[in-house]
């Protein structure tokens, strides 16, 4: 076949979805909520099925109005996408052109480098520090005249570490105002640290900040694909231009709106996930594994060259996780039963040597 195609796509790996699990096994590979949808959310979705022969309202006035009221924002600052990953793609396309640079920590969200290359821009990966955190001084030093956008994944995926509020504000203040700093807060609801960042506070104070949120994690709507960006109005206008038309379905909008109305119920579920995360972290450390304290809905185990061995131990215990060969693995915080399986697996086996 001799069809002309973009040569640059040869450097773009296809995104790897978390491994599926056999019936009865614990699927802890995708950072999904372990809870079934709330009844009120299901009811809202069911009502919307009557109109799936119609296109959704791209302006999403009810949902955007509710978000604006919730956070005290101008509705014009809010733009939607099919999950925060799609909104991240919009930001790259809106800000960076061919040959421009987009910076992020590494390892961080696996989609960042692919999204940047797909847009024709150049990914700039800055290694995490020895504590698996963003190295902000190194990121500042790496800024060039081609830098257009910087992602700060906070809490970071897959390590679960956070950038302290004061450190991030100093960083934002030091970044030239013609460079957009995007604070990706996909996991912010699980952050119980005393150094927690309020990305929206920084957005209100600095003219070159955008914030990403998603309904996939804490709200449990991963299967419906909906997220949003809050950004300077001029940026938000361009995000709407590069967004896929009708990319956010009416069912997703309905589910998100119903979720915002059920905050108290959802907070109970979030607290349960956090409690199981802490139990899993403590159990892994007690068993001798190099788990990293996390503020997300998962725990990172820095297994290095022994990653495959530890993954095998967990698989034998009926647990499926996300492995990054040669680096470590990420274990989502699931139900109490899921965490029981993780801890049973690592305690029933001799510790992977040299970890």
Q: Are residues 44 and 187 in the same domain?
A: yes
Residue 243 included in any domain: yes
Q: What is the mean pLDDT of the chain?
A: 94
Q: Are residues 329 and 236 in the same domain?
A: no
Structural domain that includes position 320: 20-36+264-348
Residue 75 included in any domain: yes
Q: CATH code at 247?
A: 3.40.640.10
Residue 6 included in any domain: no
Q: Are residues 94 and 62 in the same domain?
A: yes
Residue 2 included in any domain: no
Q: Are residues 32 and 52 in the same domain?
A: no
Look at the chain and report how many structural domains it folds into.
2
DSSP bridge pairs for 331: 299
**Res. 323 pLDDT band, cuts 50 70 90:** very high
Q: Are residues 336 and 198 in the same domain?
A: no
Q: CATH code at 337?
A: 3.90.1150.10
Q: Which own/partner contact pairs does 44-49 have at CB distance under 8 Å and 24+ positions apart?
A: 44/254, 44/255, 44/257, 44/258, 45/251, 45/254, 45/255, 45/258, 47/254, 48/250, 48/251, 48/254, 49/251
pTM of the model: 0.94
pLDDT at 318 over 60: yes
Amino acid 25: pLDDT: 87
Q: What is the DSSP string of 25-69?
A: SEEESS---SSPPPHHHHHHHHHHGGGTTS---TT-HHHHHHHHH
Q: Are residues 213 and 341 in the same domain?
A: no
Q: Are residues 209 and 275 in the same domain?
A: no
**Res. 122 pLDDT band, cuts 50 70 90:** very high
Token duo for residue 6: 């973009």
């Amino acid at each position: 076949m001799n069809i002309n195609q973009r040569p640059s796509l040869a450097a773009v790996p296809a995104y790897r979805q978390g491994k599926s699990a056999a019936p009865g096994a614990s699927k802890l590979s995708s950072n999904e909520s372990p809870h079934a949808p709330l009844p009120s959310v299901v009811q809202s979705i069911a009502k919307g099925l009557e109109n799936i022969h119609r296109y959704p309202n791209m302006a999403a006035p009810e949902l955007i109005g509710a978000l604006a009221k919730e956070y005290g924002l101008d509705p014009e600052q809010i733009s939607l996408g099919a999950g925060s990953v799609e909104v991240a793609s919009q930001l790259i396309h809106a800000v960076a052109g061919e040959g421009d640079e987009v910076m992020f920590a590494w390892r961080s969200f696996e989609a960042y480098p692919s999204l940047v290359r797909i847009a024709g821009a150049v990914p700039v990966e800055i290694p995490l520090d020895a504590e698996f955190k963003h190295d902000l001084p190194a990121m500042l030093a790496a800024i060039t005249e081609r830098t257009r956008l910087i992602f700060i994944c906070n809490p970071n995926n897959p390590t679960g570490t956070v950038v302290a509020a004061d450190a991030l504000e100093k960083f934002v203040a030091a970044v030239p105002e013609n460079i957009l700093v995007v604070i990706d807060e996909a996991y912010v609801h699980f952050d119980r640290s005393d150094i927690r960042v309020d990305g929206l506070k920084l957005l209100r104070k600095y003219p070159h900040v955008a914030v990403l949120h998603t309904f996939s994690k804490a709200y449990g709507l991963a299967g419906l694909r909906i997220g949003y960006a809050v950004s300077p109005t001029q940026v938000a206008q361009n995000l709407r231009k590069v967004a896929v038309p009708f990319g956010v379905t009416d069912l997703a909008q309905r589910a998100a709106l119903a979720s915002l109305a059920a905050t108290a119920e959802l907070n109970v579920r979030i607290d349960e996930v956090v409690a199981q995360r802490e139990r899993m972290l403590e159990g892994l450390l007690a068993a001798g594994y190099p788990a990293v304290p996390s503020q997300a809905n998962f725990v990172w185990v820095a297994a290095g060259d022994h990653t495959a061995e530890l993954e095998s131990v967990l698989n034998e215990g009926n647990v499926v996780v996300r492995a990054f060969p040669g680096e470590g693995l990420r274990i989502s915080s699931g139900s109490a039963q899921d965490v029981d399986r993780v801890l049973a697996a690592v305690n029933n086996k001799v510790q992977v040597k040299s970890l």
